[in-house]
Chains A and B, each alone.
Chain A
Amino acid sequence: MSHLEKKRAAVILGGSIFFFLFWTLLFIPWGNRGSEAYLTRGEVDQSESPDKVFNTLLIPEYKGPKDHTFVFTGICNEEIKIPLQAPVNPVKTVVLDQARKSDEIKAIAESLGAALVGITELNPRWKFKGVPLDHKYAIVIGEALPYDFTREQKDKMKAIMATKAILDFYNQGGKIALYLAKEIRDMGYPARAHYESWSQILTIPVAIDAGLGELGRNGMLITKEFGPRGRFAVVTTDLPLKPDEKSARMGIIETCEVCDKCARTCPAKAITFGGPTVTRGVVKWQLDNEKCFKYWYKGDDSWSNCLTCMTSCPWNKPNNLLHRVGNYLATRNPLSRWLLVKMDDIMGYGQEMDTAKLWQAEGNAK
């Protein structure tokens, strides 16, 4: 080999080794802490009931129907009334195969419109203090806000539609939970739907236990399929079910430790910087919920339509092959996660979306 050929061989081999080594390093799993997606330290204190939270935020009107009976409109415009709680059918369906029953429940939830369904045993520490709930299982129902609503940073109409979609989702997810709870009560087992301010449990840790995702810095559940765009309702029940197996860690906590986009872009400054802290026994980033809600809801049915913590999150991506591969790589190791965060900024994803500023700018321009 001549000297020139040797140089050529060295450059080609060096470049090729670098290329294959780079991709191999992205795929090797390392650096994810522990097997628990929701890290706890010592005893976990139960949370206060949401009634106190809503009273603090001065929105007493969000207590729902006085008799806790929700009315929906059927396809022929007929009224469908579903009570939050109702007597259980005295004739109990015998469950011989819990796994098959779990699959049946998931199929019912999906036929009602759920995008994600997970089943777990209900951990008593996720119940609010003092609530008389002793169900054994929890069925978590998830729906996702369309990605298209969460990426237009300068489109006021899309921001408004996105906020409406979130509120509609809570109704839709609640509808699915109410129907499912009614189906289970008809099978002869007690069941109760939990969503929005009528929940007696913390939805996010229950969803984490069901393996649907992990907790992010922005206080949202980050899922593989939809990032932070998911909205969840829960049905608790004594129907014998087989809980889902724990899925592999996504490394969300580790990603949030190197990324603080939501904290930087939050217009209410409600999201903390730095590492997670221990709050009531749980390792998480403690949000200032009051600051967030007071920025989001101005009273008199006036909403700021802020979705910044959701739109700025690097995990908020369309659910297509490219981003599923990208998200999968980001679960593998710290190098992949760092790359996800950096590429998110470079590629122009994750923008701030807060129409309050748009309106303010429009007002100043007039």
Chain B
Amino acid sequence: MVLRLKWYEWIGWVVEVCMVALGVFIISSSIAEKEPQAAVISASAFGLLVGIWSWVMLFYGKSRNASGI
């Protein structure tokens, strides 16, 4: 299977991976340090950011045919 990504989409997915990795790092550290407020806020913030970026990468600007709808 070959991923048919355009060059700018590769950059976008790198950003996605970085954000997910950073979010996991921060949330897991907060949980390990028993900082519930920090963990909840980090999870909410990263959930929102990763969610928005994932939507952009998967759906934004794609024609109906390309998105499979």
Determine if A13 and B18 form an interchain contact, defined as CB atoms under 8 angstroms apart: no
Determine if B8 and A13 form an interchain contact, defined as CB atoms under 8 angstroms apart: yes
Q: Does A5 contact B (CB under 8 A)?
A: yes
**9-residue interface stretch from A43-51, A136-144, A260-268, A315-323:** A315-323
Q: How many A-B contacts are there with CB distance less than 8 Å? A: 60
| Cβ 8 A contact of A4, one of B9, B25, B63 | B63
- How near does chain B come to A176, taking the closest CB pair, in angstroms? 28
Determine if B60 and A8 form an interchain contact, defined as CB atoms under 8 angstroms apart: yes
Residues of B within 8 Å of A349, CB to CB, are 35, 38
Interface of A is mostly: helix
| Cβ 8 A contact of B35, one of A2, A9, A20, A347 | A347
| Cβ 8 A contact of B15, one of A15, A318, A323, A347 | A15
Q: Does A346 contact B (CB under 8 A)?
A: yes
Determine if A12 and B57 form an interchain contact, defined as CB atoms under 8 angstroms apart: yes
- How near does chain B come to A254, taking the closest CB pair, in angstroms? 25
- In the complex, A322 Cα to B25 Cα: how many Å? 8
Q: Does A348 contact B (CB under 8 A)?
A: yes
- How near does chain B come to A154, taking the closest CB pair, in angstroms? 13
Instruction: Please encode chain A, from 329 to 366, with 1 for each CB lying within 8 Å of some chain B CB and 0 for all others.
Output: 00000000000000000111100000000000000000
Determine if B12 and A318 form an interchain contact, defined as CB atoms under 8 angstroms apart: no
Determine if A7 and B61 form an interchain contact, defined as CB atoms under 8 angstroms apart: yes
Residues of B within 8 Å of A2, CB to CB, are 63
Determine if B37 and A320 form an interchain contact, defined as CB atoms under 8 angstroms apart: no
Smallest Cβ-Cβ distance to A13: which chain B residue:
B8
Residues of A within 8 Å of B19, CB to CB, are 19
Instruction: Please encode chain B, from 38 to 68, with 1 for each CB lying within 8 Å of some chain A CB and 0 for all others.
Output: 1001100000000001001100111100000
Residues of B within 8 Å of A13, CB to CB, are 8, 11
Residues of B within 8 Å of A320, CB to CB, are 29, 32-33
Determine if A16 and B29 form an interchain contact, defined as CB atoms under 8 angstroms apart: no
Residues of B within 8 Å of A323, CB to CB, are 29
Residues of B within 8 Å of A4, CB to CB, are 61-63
Smallest Cβ-Cβ distance to B7: which chain A residue:
A9
Determine if B61 and A19 form an interchain contact, defined as CB atoms under 8 angstroms apart: no
Determine if A347 and B8 form an interchain contact, defined as CB atoms under 8 angstroms apart: no
- In the complex, A12 Cα to B52 Cα: how many Å? 11
Smallest Cβ-Cβ distance to A317: which chain B residue:
B33
Q: Does A278 contact B (CB under 8 A)?
A: no
- In the complex, A7 Cα to B37 Cα: how many Å? 38
Determine if B9 and A347 form an interchain contact, defined as CB atoms under 8 angstroms apart: no
Residues of B within 8 Å of A318, CB to CB, are 33
Q: Does B20 contact A (CB under 8 A)?
A: no
Residues of B within 8 Å of A321, CB to CB, are 29
Q: Does B4 contact A (CB under 8 A)?
A: no
Residues of A within 8 Å of B15, CB to CB, are 15-16, 19-20
Determine if B18 and A19 form an interchain contact, defined as CB atoms under 8 angstroms apart: yes
Query: Which B residues lie at the A interface, using CB under 8 A?
Result: 6, 8-9, 11-12, 14-15, 18-19, 25-26, 29-30, 32-33, 35, 37-38, 41-42, 53, 56-57, 60-63
23 A-B pairs, CB-CB below 8 angstroms? A4-B61, A5-B61, A7-B61, A8-B62, A11-B60, A11-B61, A12-B8, A12-B11, A12-B12, A12-B56, A13-B11, A15-B12, A16-B14, A16-B15, A20-B15, A320-B33, A322-B25, A322-B29, A322-B30, A322-B33, A347-B37, A348-B35, A349-B38
Starting from the known contacts A320-B29, A322-B30, A347-B38, 17 additional A-B residue pairs (CB-CB under 8 Å) come to: A5-B61, A9-B8, A11-B60, A12-B11, A12-B12, A13-B8, A15-B12, A15-B56, A19-B15, A20-B15, A320-B33, A323-B29, A347-B35, A347-B37, A348-B37, A348-B38, A349-B38
Query: Which A residues lie at the B interface, using CB under 8 A?
Result: 2, 4-5, 7-9, 11-13, 15-16, 19-20, 318, 320-323, 346-349
Nearest 6 interchain pairs by C-beta: A8-B61, A348-B37, A322-B29, A347-B38, A12-B12, A16-B11
